[in-house]
Amino acid sequence: MTVQPTVAIRPAVPADAGLILAFIRELGEYEQLSHEVVADEAGLAAQLFGERPRAEVLIAEVDGIAAGFALFFHNFSTFLGKPGLYLEDLFVRPACRGHGLGKRLMVRLAQIAVERDCGRFEWSVLDWNTPAIDFYRSLGAAGMDEWTVQRVSGDALRALAEGDSGNA
């Protein structure tokens, strides 16, 4: 007789800031973007658990051991006139995959979206990450191929904020 592991999904608490940072670093490594991870524990704690939290985190555990996380926040759809739930990051440690943690995290996020009367639940995925894309499709997700992500960051963000955005 095989013993099934106990899986739990729980909201993160301030004491989890270091764990969340560890997950972010592991995700950065997996996505070959480690060089872009500049977050620190104190900054994360302030942003996630401070006076005005900017995002929320769910922690997935297997037999009481942290195995994965999902970081999400609300956005707003003017067309729907409702909030949306945006999943920024979902990561399950490779050694913990195969227990349905990713699906459980996605189900819990969908439940939160429904409980909070969100009009949609969305996220981005790197185009080369076929396992993730296949996983999301298996959950009923549809690609938004007619949309492209636009981003302003770093020096370009500072220049735009100063009104010096080039030729516009």
Q: How many helices (H) and strands (E) does the chain have?
A: 5, 5
The verdict on whether 136 is a catalytic residue reads yes
39 secondary structure, DSSP code = -
- Set 48, 136, 144, 153: catalytic member: 136
- Burial letters for 104-137: b for 16+ Cβ neighbours within 10 Å, e otherwise? bbbebbeebbeeeebeebbbebeeeeeebeebbe
Measured CA to CA, the distance from residue 77 to residue 81 in angstroms comes to 6
Helix (H) or strand (E) holding 64: none
Which residues participate in catalysis according to the annotation? 136
